[in-house]
Structure 1
Amino acid sequence: MSQNNYLIDKRVILDCERMTLSCAGESITISESERSLLIAFHEGLFKKDDLINYVWGRKGVVVSDASYYKLINQLRGSFDKIGL
């Protein structure tokens, strides 16, 4: 597995370069924000404020809690699309 890939829960592959999630032969393209959120989780960030700062704050973007919750739901939908 390349350094641009992450293995999630021993069955999902996050390809950061292609911005895809793959599991059991299913693959979908995810957004840059979804990719950043997954990397933040991998790096051990789990508090809402830390995640908001990691995904948006480093770019100088200020977002509301609604944007955070929308991204969480978007990511859940992406996992659902690959059968999880």
Structure 2
Amino acid sequence: MSQNNYLIDKRVILDCERMTLSCAGESITISESERSLLIAFHEGLFKKDDLINYVWGRKGVVVSDASYYKLINQLRGSFDKIGLKGASVVTRPRVGVL
């Protein structure tokens, strides 16, 4: 696996160059924000404020909580499209996203 690829949950491949998610022969293109969010998870960031800063703040973009929740739901939908249950992205109160 190249440096630009990440293995998620031992079965999903995130290709950062192509901006794709692949699992069991299914592959879809994801947004830049989804890619950044998945990389943030890989780097151990799970709290909402940390994720917002990682995905948008580093670019100098200020977003509302609604944008954050929309991105989480968008990522769940992307997992659904490759045959994974979107609920594998779980939001826990006072903990963050798991």
Tell me, in whole angstroms, the C-alpha distance in 2 between the residues paired with 1:60 and 1:47.
19
- Higher relative contact order, chain-length normalized (CA < 8 Å, sep 6+): 1
Structure-2-length-normalised TM-score: 0.86
The secondary structure found in structure 2 opposite 1:7 is strand
The whole-number CA distance in structure 2 between the counterparts of 1:10 and 1:49 is: 27
Q: Secondary structure at the match of 2:6?
A: strand
Aligned mates of 2:10, 2:79 — CA distance in 1:
14
Deviation at 1:34, TM superposition (A): 0.0
User: Any idea what SS the aligned residue of 1:36 has?
Assistant: helix
The answer for unaligned runs of 5 or more in structure 2 is 85-98
Residues in 2 aligned to 1:57 and 1:5: alpha-carbon distance in whole angstroms:
23
Which ranges in structure 1 are unaligned for 5 or more consecutive residues?
none
Q: Deviations over 1:31-84 (max 9, x none)?
A: 000000000000000000000000000000000000000000000000000000
The CA RMSD measured in Å over matched residues stands at 0.2
What is the alpha-carbon distance in structure 2 between the residues aligned to residue 36 and residue 60 of structure 1? 15
SS of the equivalent of 1:21 reads: strand
Specify the SS of the correspondent of 2:2: coil
How much does 1:29 deviate? 0.1
Corresponding pairs, count: 84
- Distance in 2 (alpha carbons) for counterparts of 1:9 and 1:73: 18
Shift in Å, 1:26: 0.1
* Partner Cα separation in structure 1 for residue 2 and residue 54 of structure 2: 23
